[in-house]
Structure 1
């Protein structure tokens, strides 16, 4: 049985999309990444946003202050995401966060068939040292 102190007042939601570039399209996918970052950079509700790659797989590690902020981000990068999906398949989408924040997102994102992970407990730091 899980015995830990649950998050208190932590409403962050993280998105974990995995893309697989179509044959010969890896470089075109990578060329889109700076535009995703530039669009996201001014968003003060974004906690972190970065891409990592492994061969033809592209992963975006991102988190937002709540479900509404995550949905707003998806709206802002919508045109870029459409371009990405012409070059790559979305092979997996995980969404992690508190149950009430996930519920806000489910009606909008259900069509993408994400796997929903509910926050159980953890630690959040706003600074290190």
Structure 2
């Protein structure tokens, strides 16, 4: 098997949003986008919606870039949790990058998925 050269990490938090707070949540999404837009290690970032549920689809160059993002949007994530319920969080990446994140994120209920094979262009 070829050596894995992809250092990318992706994070997906899932939200259940009360219908009466959807407009408030969507306004907060705009704040998330503005705060994240100039992060040099962010490869992609966006929110997907299905009825009263949303997820944030986000990817970073490596674990360090993801930690920088968390430091940047921590207050916004706290506000999001006051509006909506986080039902699941997934973190994907190669073990060498996930290892950088396990201790700083130990208090969060995150499902870790280890990238074992693949490539990135």
TM-score (norm 2): 0.93
Match of 2:110 among 103, 111, 114: 114
CA contact (8 A) 1:19 1:88 kept: yes
Per-residue CA distance 1:91-128 (angstroms, 9 max, x = gap): 00000001011111011112111000000111312xxx
Long gaps (5+) in structure 2: none
Larger Rg: 1
Q: CA deviation at 1:23?
A: 4.7
- 1:78 maps to 2:112: no
Which of 82, 93, 99 pairs up with 1:97? 93
Q: Taking structure 1 as the reference length, what is the TM-score of the superposition?
A: 0.88
Q: Work out whether residues 18 and 92 of structure 1, in 8 Å CA contact, stay in contact via their aligned partners in 2.
A: yes
Large movers: runs of 4+ above 4 Å: none
What is the alpha-carbon distance in structure 2 between the residues aligned to residue 47 and residue 124 of structure 1? Answer: 12
Matches within 5 A, 1:23-42: 23-42=19-38
Instruction: Tell me the matched-pair count.
Output: 121
